[in-house]
Every structure is written in C-alpha cells, then in structure tokens.
C-alpha cells in the first residue's frame, strides 16, 4: 500500500461524503447525512494516514522530509484541514446541511491532487531553499487559514442560496439577479476546476462542460424551486440566516489569524533563504491582497455593521483571492523569456 | 486665535482621517493596485517591456511608475494614509475607552445586565444560601473584582468581570501595523541590498546594489575559501555550501560555512547563499613547468580536416595524410615572437617528406598562431592536463536595520490578533432567587465583542454553580 494509493482511495471517500450530504439535504434523508459524517471521519483518517505514510516513504528513499513541499502535498493537506474544519463546525452547531457545501471543496482539492494530469505525486527531494522549519510552519498556518476561508465560502454560498429561495421577503429583483449571477459564476468556476484541471480537458472543452453543468443544476433548481413546499423543505433545515452570517464572520476571523501567521512565517523563511523578508513577488503580493480583502470584511462588519449579503459577497471575493494566491499566480503572464532574475533557487 | 473657519477645516480633516470609510477605501485601493503589480512584471530590464508593450507602452508604464510600483510615490502615499488613518482612529477611540479600561472600580448597574440578551437561568433543589455560596466560590475562581449589589426585594446580585485589558487588543494589532511600516521604512532608508559573485579563493569588499544605484563598499572583505555543490541522484541540487572568511586589514575576523537558509550575520551585515556558477578553466601560471601532456591539433590545408593527437615534450609524432613528422623539442615558459611576448610556448620541429626541417614556436595561449605561417599544416598546441573545475559563489549581501522592528511587529500582531479575536471584556451579574421549592440562579452577561463565547460562558457558569451547590440542575 503506497501513500498515493491510500490518498487516491481517500479522494473517493471524500466524494462519497459529499454525495451523501447533498443527497441527505436534497432528498431529506437524515440517514444519508449521518453516513456522510461517518464518511468524513473515514476520509480524514485516511488522509492523515496517507500523510504519515508519505513522510515515512520519503525517509525510506533517503530524502526524508515533511510532505508539505509541492502542489500535490499541499493539496492533500488542504483537503485534510477542510475536512477537520468541517467536523468541528458540524459538531459545534449540529447541522448536517453545511456538509453539502463544504465537502465538495475537500473533494475537489483531493481530486485535483490525485487525478489531475497536471499534478505529479512523485516524492521529490528538497531543493536547498525549501530546507527550513519556517517553511513547514508557513505551509501549515497558511492552509489552516485557507481551510477556514473555504468553510466561510461554503457558508456564504449557502446564505445566498437561501436568500434567493426565500419567498415574499420584499427583495428587489435586482438584488436577487445579482445573487443568482454570483452563483452562476460559482457553478461555472466549479465546473472549470473539475473539467479543465482535474480531468485535464482543454480550456474550451472544460468551459463548455462547466457551462453545461451549470445549466443542468440551474434547471434542476428551477424545477425543484417551483413548488413552495419543496422550497420550504429544502431551506428550513439550513441554519438560520443570522447564524450563517455569524458563522461566516467567525470562520473569517479564525482564518485571518492563521493567514496573518502564515504571511509572517513566510516572511521569516524568505529572510533566511533569500535575504529579504518581503520582495513584492506575485505570490507574496497576492497573499497580502487576500489579507486586505478579509481585513476589509472585518472592518466593514465590526465598525460599519455590515451584515448578510455584503459580508457573503466579501467572503466570496476573499476566497477567490485565496484561490488566486494558491493557484492563479502560476498562470500570471510573465516576461519570462529573458529576466535573469536573481531568485534562481526558487 | 485662528478663526472659526480653520477650526472647522481641522475638524473635517480629523474626521476624514478617523473614518472607517477611509480605511475600507485605502485597503481596497491597496488590494487593487497591488494586483496591477503582479500582472505587470516588476523591475525587469527595459528591453523586455519594450518587447512586450512597444516603446510607447513602456514610456506610459514608466510615467505612471508601474515598472517599480511598490516603491512608487503614490503607493507609498497609500501606505502612509493607512498609517495615519490607524493612528488617528486609535487615538480617538482609545480616548473614549480609556476611562472604561482603566477605571479603578467598575460600576455595575443591574438593570443593564438584566436587559442583556446573554443570560442563563437554572433551578435547583437547594436552599438559596447554598447557591449563594456556590456563586462566590465559582466566580471567585475565574473572575475578578467581585462586588455585591443590593437588589430589589431583598435579593442580592454578585457581579464580576475579567479580561478588561483585552479591550486593548485591537489597539495592539493596529500598533503592530504602524511598527511594521516603520520597520520597513527604516530598512529602506538605512539599509541596502546587494549581490556579489566571488570565485573560490578570491576576496572582495565591494557589492553591487540591487536597485541599480551602483556599488557599495563593505567594512570588511569577504573571501570565498571554498564552494561545494552536491546533487541528489536524480540530478536536482541538494546543497550549495560556501566557506567564507571575513577579513579586515588582512586579518580574519569571522568565519562561517553558509548554506541556503543558514546565512552569515556579522556586524549588522547579512550574507546569504544565493547562487553559483562555473568559471572558465584558468590559464597555466607564468612560472610553471611544462604540462605533462599536450594536446596537438593538426589542420591540414589540403583537406581542411583537423586531427587531434597527444604527446609530451621530447616526443616525435607522425602526422596524418603523409604530411611528415613533428617533434616536440622544448617548452619555453616565456617565449617571444618579433619582440612581442607570447607567454608559454612549445618549440617544435616540423619535417615534411623531402623538405628541410622547419622550426616552429607554438604558443599555448594563441591557438591560431601557426596559421600565419601559411604552411601546408597549421598546428595548435594546448595543455591536455585536466583542470579542476573552479566555481564562483553568488552571494546576496544585505543590511536591514529595520528587520528587528519588523519582527517585533510580527510578534505583536499575532498576540494582538489572538487577544482581539478570542478574548473579550466579560462582565456578569449573578442573582439567586428563592423558588417555591429550592432556588434558582440567573447569570446575566455583558461583553464588548465575541458574544457567542459569552453565551457559552454564561451557560457554563450556571451549570457550574448548580453543580457546586451539590445537586444536578432542573431547567
């Protein structure tokens, strides 16, 4: 049993958990949701075992190091932190519908790691710049922060969904249209990640698949939503909107502390590896941008009393910044065909 | 005394800098402009920008300060605005909360507590006196400044509080941001960032400044004693290690072996292992003896082919294509040709079949020398002794007097965040009321933030009090 095999199996357990939670929510089956919780426990355990096994394997290869050094390893750790965060939230607030919105994120992270043709699971030796304990602290704190933000993102999507479904609440058609639009972007983004990055389709095919998937979900939602009874049943078991809003705030606060710690440990590591604690390179700058967005959210809420939709929007914006910090920086255009930039050891 | 108009302006200015709207505006502006700097690569050579954006495009970027935007005046201004905003906001709010934070004796008002949404009430089958004693013991253990208030109809309220100083948490966080910017400014003004390549065995006291403003002399010289490189089996670099000595007046004042992530820090100057390179092999030294082996390259003018042979001083080599023989007679460390120094050279005798011997001088440093003769062959001689590879080490040399301030700011920020997000100024009042059977305890809580934690605390206390009174609770 190799760690890669174990982690591939874990991917499907996360997927199973996501399916169980969604089924439990949509078809009103508490048993399915309960099985979902058990699945998450199994997935988190398998994920942790795979992590430890990979650590041991690296020592057996003579290049022993903590498995936090490349995209595959960080994605695996990310999925684990999302799983653990979900279990904590579910236990505290005793609500099994949240799982339908957080587990898919964990599944996507693991699936990207295990299934994508763009991610290699080979254990590579550490190049000199990565040999630092500060790096390990940096990766761990960053991903705990990202996981908290991911859960907050899930809660914000839930919030918008519940607001769209709420009947006769005097909302203007414009606001509702804006919410629907945001959810469309979310669905298409989800589809793109699934088809383009995880399954490795071309960008055109991936986009087409994503749009098709969004259309199918929209159709299903519209058909389901036409009946008031169904709408009520689907959304009564959501947490109260004020609770979802409060939870979003709490997860963002938690994530903010860890993101701050992550940026700080990253700066300390950079200072010992490259001689400067801050170089305004894209990765560093985008982590700061993420920090600014969430700081804006906290100030708007604590000082101006922003609540509800505005907070949900900022939380979604913040998570997009998180994704850009994690993945997007690698796609940035660069004038790379020449720059003899001195950071040769990255 | 200035007129009322200027006072109004000052007040407006103060309000502007004290507003949260400014905070949100500056934070979002910083975020958006920072994005630009990641999409347009920074600090590249001008030729690269011209190639990507055209000459006009490059001129525009330069005019808007977008090629080094994080050091641009307008970006620094945004940061300055943020700092000003933080300072003004903090001062204003601290003035208001200072009396609360540092009030000698807290004044509890029962009506405020009874109106609070944070409350929990439990009944128990015990006399009120038992509950009252439990209240004293449970509260006394975790809370401070207990005070007893007389309440209506003979009841008593015991009030307490804790973590009052946690109200300062938010100011601590903001102070850390100011410290951070101050540390960065100190580093920018009084520090430097440079790099230097030092071949093994060489020493230098001058580094090239990274911002392009020239060079800088260090208060000591850096000598690279040795550079070593190791690789993993798959070819990836494993470690770069430089053995460095710092010299002043010819004396070694400090030594260290540095690797990436383990720099040399001395007298405020930091030396980091950054990169490395290979030097071309050195030329033979002036006074050295003849190389043990010589590589002889023979170019035949007739066929155009070059043949390679090896030999030593004293050997006679047969030339290909029936071109005759070449005898390597002697080695001259400092040969001359028509009064010009040739450096080390080999004297040889070339004999084509049926012709007079030709005396040749073949300098090791000038491979094309013999072509001038325009003979049937052109011969070049070089040392065939394998030369050891010589490396140079690439070092990043910096001084940053602000980094300590920045690190302090880091620590302060984390502590401030933890206090602000996970603690709050918790106050409560506990009232014991007699019931028909037994009594009831009601816990009222008030807090300035983190209400959910206060809810849990209040419920926990109620349960603890009842448990301490010796009975399980009846809700």
Contact A14, A110 (CB under 8 A): yes
Contact B432, B440 (CB under 8 A): yes
- CA dist B203 and B244 (Å) reads 9
Q: Closest Cα to residue B211, out of A279, A329, A272?
A: A279
Using CB atoms within 10 A of its CB, is residue B96 exposed (0-12), middle (13-18) or buried (19+)?
exposed
Q: pLDDT higher for A263 or B210? A: A263
CATH classification of the domain holding B157: 3.30.530.50
B74 shares its domain with B40: yes
| B405 belongs to a structural domain | no
Contact B139, B146 (CB under 8 A): yes
pTM, entire model: 0.82
* Nearest CB partner across the interface for B195, out of A128, A286, A342: A342
Supply A302's token pair: 């604590």
Question: For residue B232, what is the nearest residue in chain A, using CA coordinates?
Answer: A125
B317 shares its domain with B374: yes
Using CB atoms within 10 A of its CB, is residue B307 exposed (0-12), middle (13-18) or buried (19+)?
middle
CATH classification of the domain holding B252: 2.60.98
CATH 1.20.120 matches A1-131 = yes
| Cβ–Cβ gap B261/A261 under 8 Å | no
* Nearest CB partner across the interface for B42, out of A129, A246, A280: A280
- CA dist A185 and A182 (Å) reads 5
Q: How many folded domains does chain B comprise?
A: 4
Domain limit, last residue, from B383, B415, B432: B383
* Nearest CB partner across the interface for B38, out of A277, A278, A282: A282
* Nearest CB partner across the interface for B48, out of A253, A302, A338: A338
Q: Closest Cα to residue A164, out of A151, A155, A154, A177?
A: A177
B329 shares its domain with B447: no
| Cβ–Cβ gap A264/B410 under 8 Å | yes
B82 shares its domain with B114: no
Supply B45's token pair: 């050579």
Q: Which pLDDT value is given to residue A346?
A: 33
Instruction: Using alpha carbons only, give the angle A92, A95, A100 rounded to the nearest 5 degrees.
Output: 120
Distance from the A87 Cα atom to the nearest Cα atom in chain B, whole angstroms: 19
B27 contact residues in A (CB cutoff 8 A): 292-293, 295-296, 299
Q: Which pLDDT value is given to residue B420?
A: 92
B84 shares its domain with B128: no
Task: Say if B24 is an interface residue toward chain A (CB within 8 Å).
Answer: yes
**Sign, Cα dihedral of A114, A117, A122, A128:** negative
Distance from the A213 Cα atom to the nearest Cα atom in chain B, whole angstroms: 30
B28 contact residues in A (CB cutoff 8 A): 292-293, 296
CA B52 to chain centre: 29
What's the domain range around B350?
A: 294-383
The values of phi and psi at residue B176, to 5°, are -65, -35
| Cβ–Cβ gap B20/A267 under 8 Å | no
Residue whose token pair is 């919780």: A37
| B300 belongs to a structural domain | yes
Measure the N-to-C terminal CA separation of chain A; round to a whole number of Å. Answer: 32
User: Torsion angle, CA of B411/B415/B421/B424, rounded to 10 degrees?
Assistant: -160
Task: Say if B52 is an interface residue toward chain A (CB within 8 Å).
Answer: yes
User: Torsion angle, CA of A311/A314/A319/A321, rounded to 10 degrees?
Assistant: -160
- Does the pLDDT of residue A169 top 70, yes or no? no
B86 shares its domain with B129: no
Q: How far is CA B321 from CA B324, B357, B381, B442, in A?
A: 8, 18, 19, 115
B85 shares its domain with B124: no
- Does the pLDDT of residue A340 top 60, yes or no? no
B180 contact residues in A (CB cutoff 8 A): none
Q: Closest Cα to residue A182, out of A149, A213, A158?
A: A158
Encode chain B (475 residues) as per-residue pLDDT tens digits: 556 678 888 888 888 888 888 998 999 899 899 988 888 888 777 888 888 888 888 888 888 888 888 888 889 899 999 999 999 999 999 998 898 888 887 788 888 888 888 999 888 888 888 888 888 888 888 888 788 887 766 677 889 999 999 999 999 999 999 999 999 989 988 999 999 999 998 999 999 988 778 889 999 999 999 999 888 887 888 888 999 999 998 899 999 999 988 999 999 899 999 888 888 766 666 556 777 888 899 999 888 888 988 888 888 999 988 889 999 999 888 888 888 888 888 999 999 999 999 999 999 888 889 998 888 899 998 887 777 778 899 999 999 999 999 999 999 999 999 999 999 999 999 998 888 888 888 999 999 888 888 998 999 999 998 888 875 444 4
- CA dist A276 and B276 (Å) reads 19
Q: What confidence tens digit (pLDDT) does each residue in A31-77 have?
A: 999 999 999 999 999 999 999 999 999 999 888 899 998 889 999 99
B70 contact residues in A (CB cutoff 8 A): 280, 285
Contact B176, B413 (CB under 8 A): yes
Distance from the B266 Cα atom to the nearest Cα atom in chain A, whole angstroms: 14
| Cβ–Cβ gap B238/A293 under 8 Å | no
B44 contact residues in A (CB cutoff 8 A): 335, 338-339
Q: Which pLDDT value is given to residue A119?
A: 87
Task: Say if B70 is an interface residue toward chain A (CB within 8 Å).
Answer: yes
Which residues 436-475 in chain B show a CB within 8 A of chain A? 449, 452
* Nearest CB partner across the interface for A292, out of B31, B193, B262: B31
Write the secondary structure of chain B as one string of H (helix), E (strand) and C (coil): CCCHHHHHHHHHHHHHHCCHHHHHHHHHHHHHHHHHHHHCCCCCCHHHHHHHHHHHHHHHHHHCCCCCHHHCHHHHHHHHHHHHHHHHHHHHHHHHHHHHHCCCCCCCCHHHHHCCCEEEEEEECCCHHHHHHHHHHHHHHHCEEEEEEECHHHCEEEEEEECHHHHHHHHHHHHHHHHHHHHHHHHHHHCEEEEEEEECCCEEEEEEECCCCCEEEEEEEEEEEEEEEEECCCCCEEEEEEEEEEEECCEEEEEEEEECCECEEECCEEEEEEEEEEECCCCCCCCCCCCCCEEEEEEECCCCCEEEEEECCCCEEEECCCCEEEEEEEEEEEEEECCEEEEEEEEEEEECCCCCCEEEEEECCCCCHHHHHCCCEEEEEEECCCCCCEEEEEEEEEECCCHHHHHHHHHHHHHHHHHHHHCCCEEEEEEEEECCCCEEEEEEEEECCCHHHHHHHHHHHHHHHHHHCCCCCEC
Q: Closest Cα to residue A252, out of A283, A288, A296?
A: A296
Give the burial string for A212-251 (b: 16+ CB within 10 Å, else e). ebbeeeeeebeeeeeeeeebeebbeebbebeebbbbbbbb
Mutate to test the interface with A, among B176, B237, B260 (most CBs of A within 10 A): B260
- CA dist A42 and A21 (Å) reads 14
| Cβ–Cβ gap B35/A289 under 8 Å | yes
Q: Which pLDDT value is given to residue A277?
A: 92
Predicted ipTM of the assembly: 0.88
A128 contact residues in B (CB cutoff 8 A): 237-240, 259-261, 273
Q: pLDDT higher for A224 or A33? A: A33
Q: What is the mean pLDDT of residues A241-250?
A: 91
Measure the N-to-C terminal CA separation of chain B; round to a whole number of Å. Answer: 67
Q: Which pLDDT value is given to residue B115?
A: 86
| Cβ–Cβ gap B263/A257 under 8 Å | no
| B411 belongs to a structural domain | no
- CA dist A233 and B227 (Å) reads 71
- Does the pLDDT of residue A337 top 70, yes or no? no
Domain limit, last residue, from B383, B411, B439: B383
Q: Which pLDDT value is given to residue A291?
A: 96
| Cβ–Cβ gap B270/A276 under 8 Å | no
Q: Which pLDDT value is given to residue B176?
A: 96
Question: Which of A39-53, A268-282, A295-309, B36-50 has the lowest average pLDDT?
Answer: B36-50
Rounded to whole angstroms, the maximal C-alpha distance in chain B is 140
| B218 belongs to a structural domain | yes
DSSP H or E stretch at residue B333? strand B324-337
B203 shares its domain with B274: yes
Instruction: Using alpha carbons only, give the angle B176, B182, B186 rounded to the nearest 5 degrees.
Output: 145
Distance from the B38 Cα atom to the nearest Cα atom in chain A, whole angstroms: 5
Residue whose token pair is 């199973």: A16
Q: Closest Cα to residue B244, out of B204, B208, B193?
A: B204
B308 shares its domain with B378: yes
B154 shares its domain with B196: no
| B288 belongs to a structural domain | no
Task: Say if B193 is an interface residue toward chain A (CB within 8 Å).
Answer: yes
- CA dist A330 and A119 (Å) reads 13
Q: Which pLDDT value is given to residue A344?
A: 29
Q: Closest Cα to residue B143, out of B121, B160, B130?
A: B160
Beta bridge partners of B199: B392
Q: Which pLDDT value is given to residue B364?
A: 86
- Does the pLDDT of residue A343 top 50, yes or no? no
Question: For residue B397, what is the nearest residue in chain A, using CA coordinates?
Answer: A275
Supply B131's token pair: 């509950």
Q: Closest Cα to residue B398, out of B192, B208, B197, B183?
A: B192
Instruction: Using alpha carbons only, give the angle A146, A151, A156 rounded to the nearest 5 degrees.
Output: 120
* Nearest CB partner across the interface for A292, out of B30, B37, B45: B30
B151: Cα within 13 Å, side-chain hemisphere: 19
| Cβ–Cβ gap B193/A276 under 8 Å | yes
Q: pLDDT higher for B45 or A325? A: A325
- CA dist B227 and B276 (Å) reads 9
| Cβ–Cβ gap A276/B51 under 8 Å | no
| Cβ–Cβ gap A344/B262 under 8 Å | no
B29 shares its domain with B45: yes
The values of phi and psi at residue B218, to 5°, are -95, 160
A335 contact residues in B (CB cutoff 8 A): 41, 44, 48-49, 51-52
Q: pLDDT higher for B105 or A158? A: A158
B8 shares its domain with B153: no
Which positions ≥6 away from B431 have C-beta within 8 Å? B110, B151, B155, B156, B157, B441, B442, B444
| B333 belongs to a structural domain | yes
Q: Closest Cα to residue B178, out of B405, B13, B18?
A: B405
| B32 belongs to a structural domain | yes
Question: For residue A262, what is the nearest residue in chain B, using CA coordinates?
Answer: B414
A307 contact residues in B (CB cutoff 8 A): none
B275 contact residues in A (CB cutoff 8 A): 342, 344-345
Q: What is the mean pLDDT of residues A228-247?
A: 85
The values of phi and psi at residue B330, to 5°, are -150, 165
Distance from the A17 Cα atom to the nearest Cα atom in chain B, whole angstroms: 29
| B415 belongs to a structural domain | no
- Share the mean pLDDT of chain A: 88
Which positions ≥6 away from A174 have C-beta within 8 Å? none
Report helix, strand or coil for A95: coil
Specify the domain boundaries for CATH 1.20.120 within chain A: 1-131
Q: Closest Cα to residue A152, out of A94, A93, A92, A89?
A: A89
Q: How far is CA B270 from CA A253, B57, B192, B195, in A?
A: 36, 38, 10, 11
Supply B109's token pair: 């008002």
DSSP H or E stretch at residue B233? none
Supply B207's token pair: 């580094």
């Amino acid at each position: 049993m190799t760690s890669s095999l174990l982690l591939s199996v874990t991917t499907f357990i996360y997927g199973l958990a996501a399916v169980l939670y969604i089924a439990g929510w949509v078809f009103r089956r508490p048993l399915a949701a309960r099985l979902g919780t058990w699945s998450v426990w199994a997935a988190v355990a398998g994920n942790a075992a795979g992590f430890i096994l990979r650590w041991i394997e690296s020592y057996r290869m003579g290049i022993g190091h903590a498995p936090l050094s490349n995209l595959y390893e960080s994605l695996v750790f990310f999925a684990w932190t999302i799983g653990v965060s979900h279990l904590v939230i579910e236990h505290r607030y005793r609500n099994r519908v949240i799982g339908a919105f957080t587990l898919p994120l964990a599944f996507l992270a693991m699936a990207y790691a295990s299934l994508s043709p763009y991610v290699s699971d080979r254990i590579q030796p550490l190049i000199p710049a990565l040999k630092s304990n500060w790096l390990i602290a940096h990766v761990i704190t960053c991903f705990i922060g990202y996981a908290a933000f991911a859960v907050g993102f899930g809660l914000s999507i839930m919030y918008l969904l519940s607001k769209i479904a709420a009947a006769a609440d005097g909302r203007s058609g414009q606001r509702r249209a804006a919410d629907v639009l945001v959810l469309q972007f979310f669905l298409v983004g989800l589809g793109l990640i699934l088809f383009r990055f995880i399954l490795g389709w071309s960008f055109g095919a991936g986009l087409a698949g994503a749009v098709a998937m969004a259309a199918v979900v929209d159709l299903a939602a519209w058909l389901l939503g036409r009946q008031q009874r169904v709408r009520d049943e689907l959304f009564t078991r959501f947490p109260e909107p004020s609770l979802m809003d409060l939870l979003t705030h709490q997860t963002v606060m938690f994530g903010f502390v860890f993101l701050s710690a992550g940026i700080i440990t990253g700066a300390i590591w950079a200072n010992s590896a490259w001689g400067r604690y801050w170089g305004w390179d894209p990765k560093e700058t985008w982590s700061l941008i993420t920090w600014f967005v969430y700081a804006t959210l906290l100030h708007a809420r604590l000082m101006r009393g922003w609540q509800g939709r505005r907070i949900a929007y900022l939380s979604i914006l913040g998570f997009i910044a998180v994704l850009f910090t994690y993945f997007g920086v690698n796609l940035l255009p660069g004038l790379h065909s020449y720059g003899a930039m001195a950071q040769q050891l990255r | 005394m200035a007129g009322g108009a200027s006072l109004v302006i000052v007040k407006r200015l103060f309000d502007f800098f004290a507003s949260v709207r400014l905070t949100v505006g500056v934070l979002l502006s910083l975020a958006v402009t920072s994005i630009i700097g990641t999409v347009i690569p920074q600090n590249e050579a001008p030729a690269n920008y011209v190639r990507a954006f055209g000459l006009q495009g490059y001129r525009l970027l330069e005019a808007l300060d977008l090629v080094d935007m994080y050091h641009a005046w307008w970006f620094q201004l945004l940061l300055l605005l943020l700092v000003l905003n933080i300072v003004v906001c903090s001062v204003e709010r601290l003035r208001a909360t200072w009396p609360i934070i540092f009030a000698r004796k807290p004044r509890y008002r029962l009506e405020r507590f009874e109106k609070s949404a944070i409350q929990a009430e439990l009944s128990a089958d015990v006399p009120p006196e038992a509950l009252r004693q439990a209240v004293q013991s449970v509260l006394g253990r975790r809370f401070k400044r207990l005070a007893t208030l007389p309440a209506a109809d003979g009841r008593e309220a015991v009030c307490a509080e804790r973590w009052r100083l946690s109200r300062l948490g938010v100011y601590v966080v903001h102070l850390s941001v100011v410290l951070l910017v101050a540390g960065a400014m100190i580093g920018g003004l009084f520090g430097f960032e440079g790099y230097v390549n030092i071949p093994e065995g060489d020493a230098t006291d001058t580094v090239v400044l990274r911002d392009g403003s020239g060079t800088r002399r260090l208060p000591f010289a850096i000598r690279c004693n040795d550079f070593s490189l190791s690789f993993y089996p798959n070819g990836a670099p494993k470690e770069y290690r430089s053995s460095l000595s710092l010299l002043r007046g010819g004396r070694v004042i400090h030594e260290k072996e540095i690797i990436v992530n383990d720099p040399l820090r001395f007298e405020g100057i930091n030396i980091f292992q950054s990169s490395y390179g290979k030097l071309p092999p050195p030329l033979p030294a002036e006074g050295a003896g003849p190389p043990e082996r010589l590589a002889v390259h023979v170019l035949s003018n007739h066929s155009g082919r070059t043949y390679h042979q090896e030999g030593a001083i004293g050997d006679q080599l047969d030339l290909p294509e029936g071109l005759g023989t070449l005898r390597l007679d002697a080695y001259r460390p400092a040969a001359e040709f028509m009064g010009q120094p040739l450096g080390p050279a080999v004297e040889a005798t070339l004999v084509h079949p049926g012709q007079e011997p030709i005396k040749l001088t073949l300098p090791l440093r000038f491979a094309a020398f013999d072509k001038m003769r325009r003979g049937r062959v052109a011969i070049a001689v070089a040392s065939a002794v394998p030369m050891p590879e010589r490396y140079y080490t690439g070092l990043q040399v910096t001084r940053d007097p602000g980094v300590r301030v920045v690190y302090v700011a880091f620590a302060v920020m984390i502590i401030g965040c933890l206090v602000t997000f996970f603690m709050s100024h918790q106050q409560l009042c506990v009232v014991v009321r007699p019931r028909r059977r037994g009594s009831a305890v009601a816990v009222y809580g008030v807090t300035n933030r983190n209400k959910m934690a206060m809810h849990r605390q209040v419920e926990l206390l109620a349960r603890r009090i009842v448990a301490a009174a010796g009975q399980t609770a009846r809700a």
